[in-house]
Amino acid sequence: MEIITSPSLKPRRRYDYAFMDTPDSNTLAILGTIPSRWGRMPPLSRAMVVETGRFLQESFLPPPGAAATAGRSIGLIGGTARGSLAPDLDFATTLLAGANLASPALFGYTLANVPLAEAANHYHLTGPVYAVIDTKAPLDTAVREAKRLIRMQPACAYILACAFDDYLDCDRKERLSLTFTLVQNNA
């Protein structure tokens, strides 16, 4: 088992594309095609899809199904301190108008694993995909979980381990944070 972190993938400070209704040309170059649910995705889900694609490209991973991964899968484990707090609060706000007026589009994003599932779906990642919550060291927890899974599932070629969160800064502006690492099965 080997852990690879791309030096060019330092945490990004700006995720402006995640707040755009239509991805710009740079974002489109990573996505290939716009996910069908892009318009209703919260910013964290959009950023997860884009940054997963960026990490796959910069790590020079073969696309799922290519000769180097044929018969083997790629997973995505995300560690988070806040889970789906931002969409949860947005959904709760829609509940104030009455239970019958709550937003079904937001409800679908009230689970912490949904941003990961959106990325896995877009890039056809078929290995384990889920979120773990750790308020102190979410990336470390995701890496430990990825190592454990890769030992248990020899058919899994790689697991992308990441830390992801969405929070309000001191100016009450929404901020996103994503950091990726790769756990490789050398079996």
Residue 7: which pLDDT band, with cuts at 50, 70 and 90? very low
Query: At residue 6, does pLDDT exceed 50?
Result: no
Cα angle: 158, vertex 49, 33; to 5 degrees: 110
What residues contact 25, with CB distance under 8 A and at least 6 apart? Answer: none
- What is the rounded CA–CA span in Å between residue 44 and residue 11? 14
Query: At residue 62, does pLDDT exceed 80?
Result: no
Cα 145 to Cα 69, 78, 183: the distances in Å are: 21, 9, 10
pLDDT at 83 (0 to 100)? 81
Residue 149 tokens read as 């899974």
* One-letter amino acid for residue 122 of the chain: H
Q: Within 13 Å and on the Cβ side, how many CA atoms surround 151?
A: 5
